[in-house]
Amino acid sequence: MGLCVSLLLWNCKGQTTNGTSEGEDSVVVTKNPLGVGMPDMVKFVRVVADEGTQVFMEADEESPWRVIWMEDLESDMADIVYMWSNQDVPDGYRCDEAPAYAGDVLAVVGEEGDFYKVSVRNELSMIDFGYVKKADVVDVEAEPLDLDDLLAEIEYIRIRVVKDGKYKGLVLRSIADELQGEKFEVGVLLDNVLAFPEENSAFINYNPDLKELTFAEDIPNYNSPAIFEYPKSMAVQSEGYMEQLDPNKLTDEQIDRIVKTMQKAESEFVKYEFVIPMTESGIRTFWLKSK
């Protein structure tokens, strides 16, 4: 779920972890300005059962299973949410089963008997974890991409990796959405994963009348640590119709202000983005807790 970008194998030869020197070919987790660690998980699995596999509330086939509620409206803005089958469906919604389909990749966070406990959290989900049968999945490995892939221009995503200074490894990206507008996310590069704390996302707006970037924090009724507005001088045109913030035009002082604003938000979950082979796009986002 959600918009994703490619990621980078952060090979820090000669760096240290917890004061211990690593070998020349080691890949280590470096310190980062957001204090984000690697995901707290065991492994990835891919669903191989032809008809998919149910996601259960407990490690028991008799327990409730995952369903999806869809607001009965003919609109691109209709409400959609994942819940358990034992919850009462609200008026004005229809309900369908929501198994993990063949080819889906899941992050395993534990196991119990014949079941794996997996992360099922996403932007539309009211549940965080569920259980799938081990017999319906196989192990799969994540693969890294290089920096060129990470920074490749995608029409609706603008991304910048800070390469030096106190915010080295910081990732800034703007994501444009025709329906929901533009949002700005702040994350970091770890070993072989791009990590964005769930709450490190701000609404941003293009304002051609401004002379410089402006910040508005603690906005009532907005689920965001801040709203930014940026001037024409910091904009780039996306897909030929929409202005979008170019993170490369942010100054060191502006980055410092953005990071300090985001550090006020407390994120229980982190959006980790991995490259998974043998899937349609190869890129998957998993909402997990960090170690």
Nearest to 49 by CA among 135, 131, 120: 135
The pLDDT tens digits for 143-152 are 876 667 667 6
Handedness of CA 264, 172, 190, 6 (dihedral sign): positive
The model's pLDDT over 57-103, given as tens digits with 9 standing for 90+, comes to 999 999 999 999 999 887 667 789 999 999 999 999 999 999 999 99
Cβ count within 10 A of residue 289: 17
Mean pLDDT rounded to a whole number for the chain: 81
pLDDT at 172 over 50: yes
pLDDT of residue 46 exceeding 70, the answer is: yes
In this prediction, residue 218 has a pLDDT band, given cuts at 50, 70 and 90, of low
Kindly provide the b/e burial profile for residues 234-243, where b requires at least 16 CB atoms within 10 angstroms of the residue's own CB: bbeebeeebb
Q: Rounded distance, CA 250 to CA 236, Å?
A: 13
The model's pLDDT over 4-31, given as tens digits with 9 standing for 90+, comes to: 333 332 222 222 222 223 333 333 344 5
Find the mean pLDDT for residues 246-270.
88
Predicted local confidence at residue 18, as pLDDT? 29
Report the pLDDT averaged over residues 212-217: 81
Higher confidence at residue 215 or residue 221?
215
Distance CA 140, CA 106 (A): 9
Which CA distances in Å does 242 have to 41, 80, 146, 245, 254?
A: 38, 26, 28, 10, 23
CA nearest neighbour of 84 among 60, 115, 48: 60
The pLDDT value recorded for residue 246 is 92
Q: Lowest mean pLDDT: which of 72-86, 162-176, 221-235, 257-271?
A: 221-235
- Residue type (1 letter), 35: G
pLDDT at 219: 55
Q: How much of the chain exceeds pLDDT 70, in percent?
A: 78
Phi, psi values for residue 10, rounded to 5°: -85, 90
What sign does the CA torsion over 219, 225, 227, 228 have? positive
> Residue 1 — pLDDT band, cuts 50, 70, 90?
very low
Q: What's the mean pLDDT in 211-216? A: 86
From first CA to last CA, the distance across the chain in angstroms is 23
Write down the pLDDT at residue 155. Answer: 67
